[in-house]
Structure 1
Amino acid sequence: MANDTSVVLDAHSPNSPGSLADPFTPPADSSLWREDFLLGVATAAYQIEGAVHEDGRLSSIWDTFSATPGKVLAGDTGAVACDHYHRWEADIDMLAGLGFQGYRLSIAWPRVMDAAGVPNRKGLDFYKRLLTRLKEKGITTFVTLYHWDLPQHLEDRGGWLNRDTAYRFADYADLMSRELAGTVDAWATLNEPWCSAYLGYGNGHHAPGLANERFATQALHHLLLGHGLAVPALRANDPASQKGIVANVGRGTANSNSAADQRAAQLFEVQHNAWILDPLFKGEYPQALFELWPGAEPLVLDGDMRTISAPLDFLGINYYFRTNVASDGAHGFTDVPLEGVERTQMGWEVYPDGLRDLLTGFKENYANLPPIYITENGMASNDQVTDGKVDDTQRISYLKRHLAAVDQAIKAGVNIRGYFVWSLMDNFEWAFGYERRFGIVHIDYTTQQRTLKRSAELLAKFLKERKAQAS
């Protein structure tokens, strides 16, 4: 993803929009007041759990990648992270105390089965205890099967470049849905296959660190095939739950009104959005993708697209920023960062309208689009604890404006059922290690002290107000 840092406003900047005095309260006519609109927070296993060598857990590609010098900022790894594996009970109590209705988490594939596919009971029991506690607290559970932590033994056999990995993923989905049936409200097969394919196999920024466009398109095909193969197992084993997938999407805008730049913006969205959504909802890859990457068509076998495009109960959408682009003068686009715009600690432009525009566009483009959940939205800032408090002003404003954009999309007719803040806690931010803080709860990685940020306090206040209004 883009990482331009020309203008960065942090939580303490006097130029940051909004102020701590502003209540986190939507307008009276906002859809967010509806009690059936799910408000939750999200995490991912490798980013928070730690305990990478405990209770039979195998190595993942992220254990290997983060242990490779130069791959992760400051040499950070997920070996300890937020120590959630040992502190999960207190973390769930904290989550419930804030009043969130939903929690999106992921399962670590290397923790629950060995290389021969034999269940690892200690790993399975961890998730059973976790999900049982969440249900006891009345929290709706969204469980992602694959949030990037592929077992290393599968990568050693080719990873997502090997078609067999899709079938091993289906076996994993079958096991998990048999073991955890009744504790999961919604299953997501994959988180952000674009990132797994492009960042992992296309440009090498993420594990396993390969860089070839042809690798990216083939890896993406096998990821989506794995998704399609997993859905029938999920339906058979846990029929009461919802089944879906989570896609990250990006808004691309043109740097000028020229035909070349307008086409560049279209191609950006083909690569970031249609590459994933067209196979799922149209049963085909967008041909414009291969204008960008000539000769990179994946090997697709008979029946694959029917498997991939089977109906879903929901679509998860992750959105963070927009990218301004221009024609590269050949067959693609190049980023042209805008000056003077608000950016986050990641260098990503804050652009709430992009979320609304994408959602309304998807509604128009995909006739069979299922209900949508915003499964990730949030921002990183350089948060610090001062006198026991964290005043994350920019995050408060960011979330308010993006929730308003979601409400606008709902009023435009998009069927959006809920919104998850990324993230519950500061965590291991992949190739950026622990420097970038996305949480509404601050983590001191030395002491593992949890401190609620002002954003968490204001969200909890709104949830309490909404609950009181509904009763």
Structure 2
Amino acid sequence: MLSLVIILLIVTIVIICRWYLSYVHSSLYWCWDNGNEEKRIFIDTDNISFPENFLWGTAAASYQCEGPGDKVPVASNWSQWEPAGIKHGQRCGMAVDHYHRYKEDTQLMRTLGCNAYRFSLAWDKIEPIEGQYDKDILAHYHDELKELHRQSIIPMITFHHFVHPLWFEQRSAFLNSSNIETFVRFVIDMFREFEDECHMWCTINEPEVYVSGGYFNGVFPPGHKSQANEASLVLQHLLQAHVEIYDNIKKIARQPEQHSIGIVKDIFQFDPWNPLNPLDIYASRILDHGMNGCILDFFRTGSLKWTMPGSIHRTYVNLRAPYTNDFIGLNYYSHFLIRFNLFKQPPFEILHRQDDSGSSLMTDMPYALYPEGLYRACVRLKNELPRIPIYITENGIADRYDDRRHLFLRRYLYALSRAINEAHCDIRGYFYWSLIDNFEWAEGYHMKFGLYHVDLQTQERTLRDGAKYFQYVIQKHREKYEKKNL
């Protein structure tokens, strides 16, 4: 009798576990038709719609695309980091010379149908010597903004996108609390400079990526590895700077209600490799909290609580924080599967799901194509930061051979449409990363994100075939509302 009870118990546990795994799988992965299913399943990725005043744009960072301009290259934290910190020993150099070709590149945006452009100001070029602003560089940005407006493209400016002057880095950058004031001063001066030409502002791009790259992985300057205590302090200072920037701009703006200010948050989901393994679950939750949860909690509650095994627990409270985002910029690319591994340091590894789609659904970074995650990230922001509008400030694919970009765009835009129309997320724009190929940070020039291919020898721009779906969607969106308004 006891044996029968044990057998029934085991069978019950197995059935429950299989049901749970099936439930988890169905909640994380949609049934795409990849051509290998026993029963054909078809998701109509053309069944999409977006709000009438939706912004369609591309995104870029000054360092990655501009080049030095007309002057001798100035020193920054990234120029010092090269070439030793870059794969294949590359230097950014002239990049893709967007500095001189901004009119041509703006016309490329119009050719795609875009009506918005997100870019960053080059702090390193604007203030190469502390306290001395380069008037020629400021004049250049005025000219670029005028060109954007001339071609009916709405600018969105980012104040800090990973790069700052070398003098700031030599003073320990955001590791030193006294430098917060220096950064805020620069931002306020730039707001005053361009207040009449721009009304959408991103304070800091991906603070957790800056932190993890510079103080965990060591693939970003300053290249410190496994420095959890430094990382948490830098994160605190970045969030503190955001709050101070928001409050100061709103105080000094002539018409504060016309200016929208937000931080840009990257979300990579950290999912357990085995949803039944408590160690995988624990490791994934620790990582998610350190990279995502603690920041979202800060903007929801005003309290930052950062924890990581083996490091100090850091707490920072600023009750102004929940009121310092007119929007949230969401950068989304993919997700990670986390497996606990005691024999690694730190004790986990990042894996990718193997299914019957094969390796073709990996990007070159390598990240998995995971459009479901864009939907999940939007819903998470809606739930954790309700009533704050969302802009997708980055989303794109590294695809050297341009054989997955079309599929990427179809699926991710479909996921975005579902987030808007089914989950009722207040998403107001989508910025593809990036318009043209550029210098992809530690990866150098080998990662091809651009809708336009760039020949680095001739600087010639060529529209990629995989990008034409993006152009098609924008065109259909515009035609839909033109007919509606006739």
Match of 1:464 among 469, 472, 475: 475
- Cα displacement (A) at 1:285: 2.2
1:365-396 C-alpha deviation (Å, 9 max, x unpaired):
334x510011111110113xxxxxxxx23111
Three-state SS of the structure 1 residue aligned to 2:318 is: helix
- Cα displacement (A) at 1:57: 6.4
How far apart, CA to CA, are the structure 2 residues paired with 1:358 and 1:436?
A: 24
Counterpart in the other structure of 1:312? 325
**Quick check: 1:50–1:83 contact (8 Å CA) kept in 2?**
yes
How far apart, CA to CA, are the structure 2 residues paired with 1:111 and 1:127?
A: 11
How far apart, CA to CA, are the structure 1 residues paired with 2:382 and 2:62?
A: 31
1:245-302 C-alpha deviation (Å, 9 max, x unpaired):
101111122122133322332223212211322222221224xx42x344333474xx
1:338-366 C-alpha deviation (Å, 9 max, x unpaired):
33452111111111111212221232233
- Cα displacement (A) at 1:192: 0.6
**What code does the residue aligned with 1:60 have?**
S
Structure with more contact order per residue of length (Cα contacts < 8 Å, sep ≥ 6) = 1
- Cα displacement (A) at 1:406: 1.2
How far apart, CA to CA, are the structure 2 residues paired with 1:314 and 1:362?
A: 11
**What code does the residue aligned with 2:331 have?**
N
Match of 1:455 among 466, 475, 478: 466
Q: Counterparts of 1:131-280 in structure 2 under 5 Å?
A: 131-211=145-225, 212-235=227-250, 236-237=252-253, 239=256, 240-256=258-274, 257-280=276-299
Q: Quick check: which has more Rg, 1 or 2? A: 2
Match of 2:407 among 394, 397, 406: 397
Match status 1:322 vs 2:326: no
Match of 2:373 among 340, 345, 354: 354
- Cα displacement (A) at 1:397: 0.7
- Cα displacement (A) at 1:332: 6.3
Q: Counterparts of 1:122-137 in structure 2 under 5 Å?
A: 122-137=136-151
- Cα displacement (A) at 1:55: 4.1
After superposing the two structures, state which structure 1 stretch, 171-180 or 160-169, moved more.
160-169
**Quick check: 2:333–2:397 contact (8 Å CA) kept in 1?**
yes
Counterpart in the other structure of 2:451? 440
Identity of aligned residues (%): 31
Match of 2:352 among 323, 327, 337: 337
Counterpart in the other structure of 2:313? 297
- Cα displacement (A) at 1:26: 5.6
- Cα displacement (A) at 1:457: 2.9
Match of 1:285 among 277, 285, 304: 304
Show structure 1 runs of 5+ residues with no match: 1-14, 18-24, 384-391
How far apart, CA to CA, are the structure 1 residues paired with 2:431 and 2:325?
A: 19
**Quick check: 1:244–1:314 contact (8 Å CA) kept in 2?**
yes
**Quick check: 1:213–1:293 contact (8 Å CA) kept in 2?**
no
**What code does the residue aligned with 2:199 have?**
D
- Cα displacement (A) at 1:114: 4.2
**Quick check: 1:324–1:336 contact (8 Å CA) kept in 2?**
yes
Three-state SS of the structure 2 residue aligned to 1:412 is: coil
How far apart, CA to CA, are the structure 1 residues paired with 2:383 and 2:476?
A: 35
- Cα displacement (A) at 1:442: 0.2
How far apart, CA to CA, are the structure 2 residues paired with 1:354 and 1:461?
A: 23
- Cα displacement (A) at 1:130: 0.5
Counterpart in the other structure of 1:3? none
Match of 1:49 among 50, 53, 66: 66
- Cα displacement (A) at 1:104: 0.7
- Cα displacement (A) at 1:446: 0.9
How far apart, CA to CA, are the structure 2 residues paired with 1:213 and 1:282?
A: 23
Three-state SS of the structure 2 residue aligned to 1:334 is: strand
- TM-score using structure 2 length: 0.83
- Cα displacement (A) at 1:427: 0.4
How far apart, CA to CA, are the structure 2 residues paired with 1:265 and 1:379?
A: 24
Three-state SS of the structure 1 residue aligned to 2:323 is: coil
After superposing the two structures, state which structure 1 stretch, 41-50 or 192-201, moved more.
192-201
* Compared CA separation, residues 221 and 57, structure 1 to 2 (3 A): farther
**Quick check: 1:39–1:102 contact (8 Å CA) kept in 2?**
yes
Match status 1:420 vs 2:431: yes
After superposing the two structures, state which structure 1 stretch, 89-98 or 454-463, moved more.
454-463
How far apart, CA to CA, are the structure 1 residues paired with 2:320 and 2:341?
A: 36
**Quick check: 2:392–2:429 contact (8 Å CA) kept in 1?**
yes
Match status 1:408 vs 2:425: no
Show structure 2 runs of 5+ residues with no match: 1-33, 37-43
Q: RMSD across aligned C-alpha pairs, in angstroms?
A: 2.3
**What code does the residue aligned with 1:234 have?**
I
Three-state SS of the structure 2 residue aligned to 1:31 is: coil
After superposing the two structures, state which structure 1 stretch, 157-166 or 230-239, moved more.
230-239
- Cα displacement (A) at 1:95: 1.3
Counterpart in the other structure of 2:57? 40
After superposing the two structures, state which structure 1 stretch, 122-131 or 207-216, moved more.
207-216
Three-state SS of the structure 2 residue aligned to 1:350 is: coil
Three-state SS of the structure 1 residue aligned to 2:101 is: helix
**Quick check: 1:275–1:285 contact (8 Å CA) kept in 2?**
yes
**Quick check: 1:147–1:190 contact (8 Å CA) kept in 2?**
yes
- TM-score using structure 1 length: 0.86
After superposing the two structures, state which structure 1 stretch, 317-326 or 54-63, moved more.
54-63
Three-state SS of the structure 2 residue aligned to 1:143 is: strand
How far apart, CA to CA, are the structure 2 residues paired with 1:144 and 1:431?
A: 20
**Quick check: 1:246–1:375 contact (8 Å CA) kept in 2?**
yes
- Cα displacement (A) at 1:463: 2.0
Counterpart in the other structure of 1:380? 398
**Quick check: 2:261–2:326 contact (8 Å CA) kept in 1?**
yes
Counterpart in the other structure of 1:6? none
How far apart, CA to CA, are the structure 2 residues paired with 1:277 and 1:79?
A: 36
How far apart, CA to CA, are the structure 2 residues paired with 1:455 and 1:117?
A: 45
* Compared CA separation, residues 155 and 124, structure 1 to 2 (3 A): same
- Cα displacement (A) at 1:449: 0.7
How far apart, CA to CA, are the structure 2 residues paired with 1:412 and 1:299?
A: 33
How far apart, CA to CA, are the structure 2 residues paired with 1:372 and 1:409?
A: 11
**Quick check: 2:148–2:154 contact (8 Å CA) kept in 1?**
yes
How far apart, CA to CA, are the structure 2 residues paired with 1:50 and 1:360?
A: 38
**Quick check: 1:161–1:222 contact (8 Å CA) kept in 2?**
yes
**Quick check: 2:303–2:315 contact (8 Å CA) kept in 1?**
no
How far apart, CA to CA, are the structure 2 residues paired with 1:159 and 1:245?
A: 19
**Quick check: 1:440–1:452 contact (8 Å CA) kept in 2?**
yes
